[in-house]
Structure 1
Amino acid sequence: MEQPNKQPEESPELKKVIGVFGGSNILIGIMIGSGIFYIGSYVLQRAGMSMGLALLAWLIGGLVTLLGSLCFAELGAMNPATGGIYVYLSDAYSPVVGYMFNFQSMIIGGPGSIAAIAIALPLALKSLIPMNSFMVKTSAIVLIIIFTLINYLGVDTGEWVQNLFNVLKVLPLILIIVLGLFWGHYTPNLSLVPHTGTGSTSPVGFIQMVAFAVIASLWAYEGWTNLNAVAGEMKNPQRNLPRALILSVGFTTVVYVLFNLAIYRALPFGQISRSIQHNQLYLGTAVAQSFLGQFGTILVAVAMVLAMISSLNGMILAFARYYYAAAKDHLLWKSFAHVNSKYRTPDFSLFIQMLISIALVLTRELDELTSLVVFSGAIFNLLSVLAVPVMRRRQPDAPRPYKVWAYPWTVIIATIAFLIILGNNFIDDPVTSILGLVVPAIGAMVYWGFRKYYHADAE
């Protein structure tokens, strides 16, 4: 077994090429995936079929995500190193906590998200191109290989691909929004009163209903933490990281709200209600069909594919940096910290990530992957938000180029939101939630094993 020795000083470093626009596109690409086309149905259903409450849930979800991103902006500007949450948790609590996050990201979070979106992409095309399970999984593996190679060729290459697909996917979304808002024939009822017979109208029941709807919307915002993983490759990260976080979350929130409002303008409430009852959740497709016929169906399919491609590319780019950061701290074999001298990318980390992702494609289904990723990620998002007050107390005089707005309320609200997510997931799927706790616990044992091995070698 190769020993975790230090990197030689002449080892090439990662390139600092990502600006505000590129950083924003990485996050927008990850957040706006296929979920924009169907999660709105879940939000509306959980909001008691009240269009006003559903839009409010989308706004609250965007606000909660923004509050979390502001916390990450302070931490990232304070320590703009490659590795993101891994670095912040190590500084705020202990290196073992940072490594527990890194381990779950290497085994579950990163490869699991990559595998899930790679499987979802061919599944979205099954209505146009008949595919069996073997073809779906083969296509997923090919996609993972292709976009790993793209990101191996340089972070600027991966960023360029991200920018291109983001622009291409946003155009059909904007078309649907414009068609619905300006040519829609219906005036939606935007009152905050739940539809008759959908649940309790007591104050407690109302709050629970809104919270349940917000949780669904937060699934669509998932991925907002990943820009910090490439902070070490950003130009002037102290300034550009906070700007990119705020810009990307703000843009995504506006798109989600307007997209769903366009649906309410374009389709009658009765049709929306019947579609959801019959599990026909892709309401955006219905909007495109109503205006553009069969071309609308094709347009939405293309938009979904572009959305998922940009999400897949952004994940592959960001998640490999966690392996790299751990190896730089001698908590993985030094090969994981290797940087390609020509392309200046963490090549070994990228290819190991690719292999784990392919293994998950072969052994897991889509629903198993997504539920596991959501719960395990929320644990460490919560700890990262709480790292802001911890670091302010521990290092009160440290330079902070950016500080969280409305502190400490920002941290308090974000903390409550993540606790709700964790509680809801644990109740709905306790087995998967327990597995999401077991993997980081194994990571702690791996951490102490590497520490013991490294120090024994040093002696």
Structure 2
Amino acid sequence: MNDERNLTGINAIPVGHPHIRSSAPDAGRIAELTTDRTDFKREIGVFGGVSVIGGIMIGSGIFYLGAYVLQRTGMNSGLSLICWIVAGIISLFGGLCYAELGCAMPRAGGSLVYLNEAYHPVVGFMSGFTTFLIGGPGSIAAVAIAMMTVLQSLLGISSDGVKIGAIVLIIGTTVYNLYGVKLASTVQNVSMIAKLVPIVIILAAALFAGSQTPDLSMSSASTYAADNNTSVFGMMALAIVAALWAYEGWTNLNTVTEEMRNPKRNLPLALIIGIGGVTLLYTLFNYAIMRVLPHSTMVSMINSGDVYLGTAVARQVLGSAGAMVISVGMILAMFGSLNGMTLAFPRMYYAMAKEGHFFQSFGRLHPVHRTPTTAILVQCVISCALVLMRNLDQLTNLVVLSSMLFNILVIIAVPILRRKYPHIERPYKVWFYPVSVIIVAAIFIALFIQGAVDDPVNGFAGFIVPAAGAVVYWLFDRRNAREEQING
């Protein structure tokens, strides 16, 4: 363990503080951005990093999104598998952008730090404020509700019981995350392994016991496109959008960079292994479904509104216990996602406070456990409130649209920061730069526009909440200026 929490001067220069900015980068700020010193305990290794990513990414989506991808590709099996792979590649290159930035600037807060330096501290704060009010608590609330919804069908829980159970789950994960990253990371590692067991069992059983030979040719795709007044490219775009929701979560590892051992090596390694592994898992899982269920059966199920193809596979391959196995897998998957988000998000709020434009209590660590206690507790309160105020569908749309705009800005920050800080050591650099950055940024811009058009209410929230964040930043900025005048 590399415990350097007692080193002095760590936070003497708040990253991106406007009152110490100069027209050119100064040595002090560069040193603060690139230092390996930290107040946190470094207890997350490569496997722990992979567990955080995989734990958040592998949720309930693996069990039902395959149906939507199939539907949007005109029920073409080959084209749907290609869309899963392409969505994984897009996520991977987005993750590689985060890896370059995280290795160059290994500070807690992740995207908050990169946005501060690439644009202006107000942009980073708007991102953090949106995550604080919507992205973090909304994601936690959505997963908690989804997990209780699975239990609802098994235990006959009422709708009110689902809400109460979701709140209990949130409080429970909050409590043990207060006791340090080591315990939370251990829980994440265990849940990561535990939830993969039923998925792998079903995957292996389907691949070896399945008797179907799926038609992977794409000849029918052009015919379907012509009959429905669209194009194969348009079909793929819609299908990739659906698949990308299953890959959400790869941005969160950077928020705990200061708690990783040797982040300049382990951060990109964990991102590549995590996102690459999830891409392989998703593709094989959907292929395994096609090995068991006849194409006509999948079409019939999807047309009737039954999107849980994995449950049907488990029931057919494993018998009466199949449905229970898949339900346990879904519960474990969502629990790992819930724990990973409870661990990761408060580190961004901590960075906001250290930057000087948020409540100081959020920037304090527990004297023993070295965790941002206030940030974790407030996140819990907001999450519980959102459970009571919103349903699952509303929460999902709100979270996705509120976060996508800032993901675009972080990806574009890669070339901006290369030019602004050309001499910063970059142990890792994005592959195929700059073409990869341009393509990934363009794809995410298209997704954001489409999502805002399809859901204008939540699209509006995706703009109004960051705008409110700018106002909060201005208020703290005025307070800081007054304090400097008094103390100066």
2:368 aligned with 1:351:
no
The aligned counterpart of 1:453 is 479
Is the contact between residue 49 and residue 198 of structure 1 (CA under 8 Å) also seen in structure 2? no
CA distance in 1, matches of 2:231, 2:222: 14
Which residue among 124, 141, 154 is the counterpart of 1:115?
Answer: 141
Which residue among 251, 255, 260 is the counterpart of 2:281?
Answer: 255
> 1:22–1:8: structure 2 CA closer, same or farther, 3 Å change rule?
closer
The aligned counterpart of 2:271 is 245
The aligned counterpart of 2:327 is 301
CA distance in 1, matches of 2:428, 2:285: 32
The aligned counterpart of 1:417 is 443
2:291 aligned with 1:265:
yes
2:454 aligned with 1:428:
yes
Q: Output aligned runs, 1:243-392, within 5 Å.
A: 243-392=269-418
Q: How much has 1:288 moved relative to structure 2?
A: 0.4
Q: How much has 1:454 moved relative to structure 2?
A: 1.5
Q: Report SS of the residue matched to 2:153.
A: coil
> 1:409–1:268: structure 2 CA closer, same or farther, 3 Å change rule?
same
Q: Output aligned runs, 1:95-134, within 5 Å.
A: 95-134=121-160
2:181 aligned with 1:155:
yes
Q: Report SS of the residue matched to 2:387.
A: helix
Q: Report SS of the residue matched to 1:99.
A: helix
Q: How much has 1:200 moved relative to structure 2?
A: 2.8
Q: Report SS of the residue matched to 2:225.
A: coil
Q: Report SS of the residue matched to 1:200.
A: helix
CA distance in 1, matches of 2:274, 2:11: 37
CA distance in 2, matches of 1:88, 1:381: 11
Is the contact between residue 68 and residue 385 of structure 1 (CA under 8 Å) also seen in structure 2? yes
CA distance in 2, matches of 1:200, 1:102: 45
CA distance in 2, matches of 1:280, 1:393: 51
The aligned counterpart of 1:171 is 197
CA distance in 1, matches of 2:265, 2:10: 29
Instruction: Output the TM-score relative to the length of structure 2.
Output: 0.90
Which residue among 12, 32, 57 is the counterpart of 2:58?
Answer: 32
Which amino acid is the alignment partner of residue 128 of structure 1?
L
1:181-203, Cα deviation, whole Å (9 max, x unpaired):
11101000001234587433799
2:71 aligned with 1:45:
yes
Which amino acid is the alignment partner of residue 107 of structure 2?
A
Is the contact between residue 11 and residue 354 of structure 2 (CA under 8 Å) also seen in structure 1? no
CA distance in 2, matches of 1:44, 1:273: 9
Q: Report SS of the residue matched to 1:61.
A: helix
CA distance in 2, matches of 1:354, 1:417: 33
Is the contact between residue 53 and residue 193 of structure 1 (CA under 8 Å) also seen in structure 2? no
Q: How much has 1:8 moved relative to structure 2?
A: 9.0
1:99-155, Cα deviation, whole Å (9 max, x unpaired):
000000000000000000011101012221111121000000000000011111110
Instruction: Output the TM-score relative to the length of structure 1.
Output: 0.96
Which amino acid is the alignment partner of residue 102 of structure 1?
G
The aligned counterpart of 2:218 is 192
CA distance in 2, matches of 1:203, 1:225: 36
CA distance in 1, matches of 2:289, 2:11: 57
Is the contact between residue 153 and residue 345 of structure 1 (CA under 8 Å) also seen in structure 2? yes
CA distance in 1, matches of 2:203, 2:229: 33
Which amino acid is the alignment partner of residue 385 of structure 1?
I
CA distance in 2, matches of 1:192, 1:386: 34
Give unmatched runs, 5+ long, in structure 1.
1-5
Which amino acid is the alignment partner of residue 179 of structure 1?
A
CA distance in 2, matches of 1:86, 1:8: 16
